[in-house]
Amino acid sequence: MTGTSLRVSVDRDRCVGTGGCVFAAEEVFDQNDEDGRVVLRTEYPGPDLAEAVRQAVDVCPVYAIALAEKENGR
Ligand code: SF4
């Protein structure tokens, strides 16, 4: 069986704390209580969260979220 796994990274320096990513995928993103900037909850979200993570990337106004995709399988 093959599939694609995602690796998520965030740039907190770039983040302006809109919370859009949290709204799109609260399982993956959170906001720091102090500065409101993004906190990554999981670097490797499962395939069931891929769509939500892509939405988070789309709504981020400052391109602070990056995705790397890795093909699984052999
Ligand atoms: S959507 Fe972008 S700017 Fe907004 S909190 Fe998330 S990472 Fe930060």
CA angle 36, 38, 43 (to 5 degrees): 160
**Centre of ligand 1 from the C-alpha of residue 37, in Å:** 7
38 lines ligand 1 (CB under 6 A): yes
pTM: 0.90
Ligand 1 pocket check for 24: Cβ under 6 Å:
no
Domains in the chain: boundaries:
3-72
**CATH architecture under which domain 3-72 falls:** 2-Layer Sandwich (3.30)
Per-residue pLDDT reduced to its tens digit, 2-50: 567 899 999 999 999 999 999 999 999 999 999 999 999 999 999 999 9
State whether the beta carbon of 16 lies less than 6 angstroms from ligand 1: yes
In short, whether 15's Cβ falls inside 6 Å of ligand 1 is: yes
